[in-house]
Structure 1
Amino acid sequence: MKVVGFGDNVVDQYQHTGMMYPGGNAVNFAVYAKQLGIPSAYLGVFGNDVIADHIKDALTKLEIDLSNCIVKQGESGFCLVNLVEGDRVFVDWNEGGISTKEPMILGETELNYLSQFALIHSGCFAKAETELKKLSHLEALVSFDFADEEPFHQEDYLKEVCPHIDFALFSCTGQPLDSIKTLLQKVIDLGTTYALATMGTDGSVFFDGQDFYEGVVELVEPVDTMGAGDSFVTAFLIHLLQNGWKKHVKVPPNVIKDAFKKAAKFSANNCLREGAFGFGGKFE
């Protein structure tokens, strides 16, 4: 079993320390899956600058497969970040740089490559919406992260994405539980199979189209919360895969409940280091 993150790559530039750390939803997924013992890959567009070199170097050292990535002339993605009492606060970003300005278009070569994976993970910041229909024709499962941005929770966007994915992921910190459940019901009605919303320290909610399941977080004194959500959802997805999740196969309740526990522990441990997964480097 292998998995792949398809989409954006960035660095998080911490203004208070002058350090940058590799990240991006698709990259984080690939790294966390590898840390969980699953062979993984990243597929996307790299820039041709020192930021791209730093990201590629980190992923190569972690033995993430980059064999089908492409390089284009342009600036890599970066987010400007401050850290306040261990919690990351985004200040500004360049909208993903070249990885989202000129995202990968999936041709026959790329689709043949992706056909070898059990799960393809992407998200709303990857600008890959037009490619999702191509992925839905593969045997691979497709998960998609809608993050916490309001435009990506609107019905028009959900209608564009949900029919082509198997698992929808949302960040809904601070939102009423009833409205979160309504959102999860909506995405199931629009065509996806499963939906999960994380709610920060309030836990998480999973919906399988029939029943809602709620999970709690494992609280720690964080060094840095960067990647907390990505590490949680990756561990949740990987646990489902390891316990028989396939297209048209219903996941049993005991597997869902165990997935909450595994994901909470993995996410908590991830908050005990700097950056999404370490590999800091100086920037100017």
Structure 2
Amino acid sequence: MKMIAIGDNVVDCYLDQQLYYPGGNAVNVAVHCKRNGFEECAYIGIFGNDKKADHIRRTLELEQVTYELSRQVFARSGAPGVQLVEGNRVFVAGPKDTAQHIVRLRLMPYDLEYIATFDVCHTSCYSNIEGELGSISKHCDISFDFSTNYSTEYLQAVCPHIRYAFFSGAELPEERLDLLIETCHSSGTAIVGITLGERGALFSRNGERYVQAVKPTTVVDTMGAGDSFIAGFLTSFIKHGDMEQALDYAADRAAVTCTFYGAYGYPHPFETEEAW
């Protein structure tokens, strides 16, 4: 099995610890897919040219996630601030002039030829890649994390190109969950998953519903738990094709991620010469 992630890379800056950790939805899913058993995982994104970008690349190398087709620009890395409140990560606005803000990735024919060698491509609403989804979908199944982007207009633009749709829906009432699932399916998406915080997760495969409870764990930090859930689901489902088995495995992996700091570890002290 092979997967590729396209999109964001950042460092999550833990203000109370004065440490930053590599992250970004695309990077997190790629790393966790490799840890879960994908034979090959790759990443395409836009790196800054600072020490934070060096640290992200170094961790990808350690995790055996290749990034050979990524770009680099003269800009600082995305660096959202993070505060932990009883183990729950709360984002604090970071700088808005980063590589993730000022440059949009455009895929070339050689990128698409490379993407075609993978089983699944993961990306998200944080990746500014919506205009490329039609091209990617001709070469590879797409997994897409919408986070809390529920607007019908956005769903109808994205869902025709993707196979897997993931949402964060802890605050949504039941009727909104039903509407969200129906809108995605009617637009062409086969599998829709909504994580619901302490309520677990609700998934639908072509209209057949599945419910997954959370797994008990000692919560240190919830950063990256949703990305780990996505990676666990993709790994198990693509390998076995069984929804219940995939959801159970995904919940296990999310629970493990809650037991350490950062989306996948690798703390680094703040650099004194670089303001957060």
Q: Give me the TM-score of the superposition, normalised by structure 2.
A: 0.95
Quick check: 1:271 aligned with 2:272? Answer: no
1:17 Cα offset (Å): 0.5
> What is the SS of the residue equivalent to 1:272?
coil
**Which piece of structure 1 moves more, 117-126 or 166-175?**
166-175
Shift of 1:94: 3.3
1:35 counterpart residue number: 35
1:128-167 alignment, distance < 5 Å:
128-138=129-139, 140-148=140-148, 152-167=149-164
> Displacement, 1:208?
1.5
Structure 2: which amino acid aligns with 1:137? K
Residues of 1 paired with 2:102 and 2:174: CA distance?
35
2:200 is aligned with 1:203: yes
Aligned residue pairs total 270
Shift of 1:219: 2.0
Cα offset for 1:164?
Answer: 0.9
Distance 1:166 1:100, change over 3 A: farther
**Identical columns (%):** 37
Aligned match of 1:242 = 239
Q: Report matched runs for 1:95-114 at 5 Å.
A: 97-114=98-115
Residues 44 and 67 of structure 2 are in contact (CA less than 8 Å); yes or no, is this contact kept in structure 1? Answer: yes
- Cα distance in 2 for partners of 1:36, 1:94 equals 33
Query: Given the superposition, is the C-alpha separation of residues 114 and 270 from structure 1 closer, same or farther in structure 2, using an over 3 Å criterion?
Result: same
Q: Which residue of 2 aligns with 1:259?
A: 246
Q: Deviations over 1:9-46 (max 9, x none)?
A: 00100000000000000000100001102121111110
Mapped to 2, the partners of 1:33 and 1:230 lie a distance apart of: 10
Give 1:178 shift: 2.7
The 10-residue stretch of structure 1 (18-27 or 216-225) with the greater mean CA deviation from structure 2:
216-225
Q: Displacement of 1:202 after TM fit? A: 0.4
Query: Larger deviation: 47-56 or 173-182?
Result: 173-182
Deviations 1:149-168 (A, max 9, x none): xxx21011111111111111
Secondary structure of the 1:125 match is: coil
Name the structure 2 match of 1:214. Answer: 211
2: CA distance, partners of 1:53 / 1:257: 39
Cα distance in 2 for residues equivalent to 1:99 and 1:91: 16
8 Å contact from structure 2 (residues 105, 128) kept in 1: no
User: What RMSD over aligned residues (CA atoms) do the two structures have, in Å?
Assistant: 1.2
SS at match of 1:278: coil
Deviation at 1:97, TM superposition (A): 2.4
Alignment of 1:43-58 (within 5 A): 43-58=44-59
Distance 2:216 2:94 in 1: 29
2:141 counterpart letter in structure 1: L
- 2:185 and 2:207 in contact (8 A); partners too: no
Q: Distance in 1 between matches of 2:171 and 2:100?
A: 30
Which residue in the other structure is 2:274 paired with?
A: none
Rounded to whole Å, the distance in 2 between the matches of 1:99 and 1:60 is 21
Q: Does 1:118 align with 2:119?
A: yes
Deviation at 1:181, TM superposition (A): 2.0
Per mean C-alpha deviation after superposition, the further-off stretch among 181-190 and 120-129 is 181-190
- Structure 1 100/118 Cα, relative in aligned 2: closer, same or farther at 3 Å? farther
Distance 1:161 1:264 in 2: 26
Which segments of structure 1 move beyond 2 Å, counting only runs of 4 or more? 93-97
Structure 1 regions of 5+ residues with no counterpart? Answer: 245-254
| Contact 1:100 1:127 survives alignment (8 Å) | no
Q: Is the 8 A contact 1:78 1:96 kept in 2?
A: no
Q: Which amino acid aligns with 2:106?
A: I
Tell me, in whole angstroms, the C-alpha distance in 1 between the residues paired with 2:266 and 2:79.
15
Correspondence for 1:4: 4
